[in-house]
Amino acid sequence: MTTTIGSASTVAAESPRAGAPVAPRLRRLAAGQLAADGIDTASLTVTGGALDAIERILASWLTPADRVIVEDPGHAVTYDLLAAMGFTTVPVPVDDLGIRPGALADALARGAGALIVTPRAQAATGAAWDAGRAAEIAAVLRRHPATGVIEDDHAGPVAGVPAFSACPGRARWVTLRSVSKSLGPDLRVAVVAGDEATITRVAGRQALGTGWVSYQLQEMVADLWSDAAAARTLATAARVYAARGAALRSALAAHGITASGRSGFTCWVPVADEDGVASSLAAAGWAVAPGQRFRIAAPPGVRISFARLAEADAPSFAAEFARALRHRASRLD
């Protein structure tokens, strides 16, 4: 996709030095998108991507050694960020509908300063909430009003399923939507909606450092969000990813292999020897990721990214995956 941004003089004239850190046009467009998904847009800011947002939010909420609940399996880089910030990571298992409400309730009962969840396109498993799961999570969270909740909607419009939120009515919450997965990794922009105090603190701390996210990047995102051709491309991408995921899961199922996933670009397959399976597949020309980087207490598995796996290639991959499982099983015997 291509876009044309304003001239340097136009961008300079709209510099946030004399105004808000969020470009007005991007604010309008982001508010419209989020409001359509039932998310309160009274307080908005922009950060340099999803992880930048998560780091700033947690720094405004917590102190070192506080407990943060995460999905397991989940996002490896988020685990790394929490470790670098000195927080205690509390893993909670997931299924195809996301974080499990019962296990979440148990973890919250032991105390936690924050919860990081992915409503759709979960990074390791491709899990996604439906309306029922979102309501269950919200009900659990209502018993713990002091816990801050971060909803990381990193895939946004290319996730392939609708957005749901468990945050309405909470005192401390954030929903963030990055564009790096949908529009391109060099667009380090995430729109962040949340409670007024949190958004004010995040924007205020940013003002003391980087100041703001480049208005040129913000205007590029606004141009793309306003472009009908870009919107059609995003819709096509969502359909293609969904079709590729369905083809992969179906091909694996034909060999008796169960893979997770309802959305996004990844799925998870439990295996006893994740390094061995990954090595066997690599020798056959297929790349999957051993699950160790993406799990804390969850059983072993491999993470498969199918974003570039054509539907026609799914049967060949599945057959090789089945051979790898048999090979590793024979070696273990």
Residue 189 contacts residue 181 (beta carbons within 8 Å): no
State the pLDDT at residue 10: 40
* Alpha-carbon span 150 to 173, nearest angstrom: 6
| Mean per-residue pLDDT over the chain, rounded | 92
State the pLDDT at residue 330: 61
How do residues 184-213 score in pLDDT, each as one tens digit? Answer: 988 899 999 999 999 999 999 888 888 889
Q: How far is CA 48 from the centre of its chain?
A: 15
CATH code reported for the domain at 230-332: 3.90.1150.10
Q: 316: burial class by Cβ within 10 Å (0-12, 13-18, 19+)?
A: middle
State the pLDDT at residue 327: 77
Task: Provide the β-strand partners of residue 150.
Answer: 116, 174
State the pLDDT at residue 13: 43
CATH code reported for the domain at 10-226: 3.40.640.10
CA distances from 298 to 71, 97, 121 (A): 10, 16, 18
* Alpha-carbon span 248 to 114, nearest angstrom: 35
For the chain, the straight-line distance linking the first and the last C-alpha, in angstroms and rounded, comes to 52
Which residues in the chain show pLDDT less than 70? 1-19, 328-333
Domain assignments of the chain as residue spans, ordered by start: 10-226, 230-332
* Alpha-carbon span 242 to 219, nearest angstrom: 29
State the pLDDT at residue 329: 64
State the pLDDT at residue 20: 79
State the pLDDT at residue 14: 52
How many CB atoms are located within 10 Å of the residue 78 CB? Answer: 22
Closest CA to 174 of 154, 158, 152, 206: 152
Residue 84 contacts residue 58 (beta carbons within 8 Å): no
